[in-house]
Amino acid sequence: MDFVSLVLISHSEEIVVGLKKLINQVQPNVAIAIAGGVDGEIGTNVFHIKEAIESVHSEKGTVVFFDLGSALLNAEMAIEMVEGNENIRIADAPLLEGAYFAAVEAGFGHSLREVVASGEAAKSFQKVPDL
């Protein structure tokens, strides 16, 4: 079965390495690529992001998650550079919870639209109940 893939972008390599490991334990069938840090330092790199997208891009699509504003700018530029980018989406979602929710949805074989929606639903996920 072909699944929607995920790309995780962070200014910190350690963050996306750990997040990928966490998600792979829950959903090992979904392809996940990471782009984090620049030469061992904090930052993002448009070419690393492009390579990450190309390494997992599937016919069902790819959803990109990012941590901070400048990562969004680099993600947008990277997507423009990818040939056949019609089914690549950037999720407006928290990196950890959004990617986790999206990976679960993708693992069920759901559509790109459904995977993006699941990731973006994490914005309103209440972690602590009202007292």
Catalytic residues: 11
Residue 105 makes CB contacts below 8 A (sequence gap 6+) with: 4, 114, 115, 118, 119
Distances (CA, A) of 39 to 12, 20, 45, 48, 57: 11, 19, 10, 11, 24
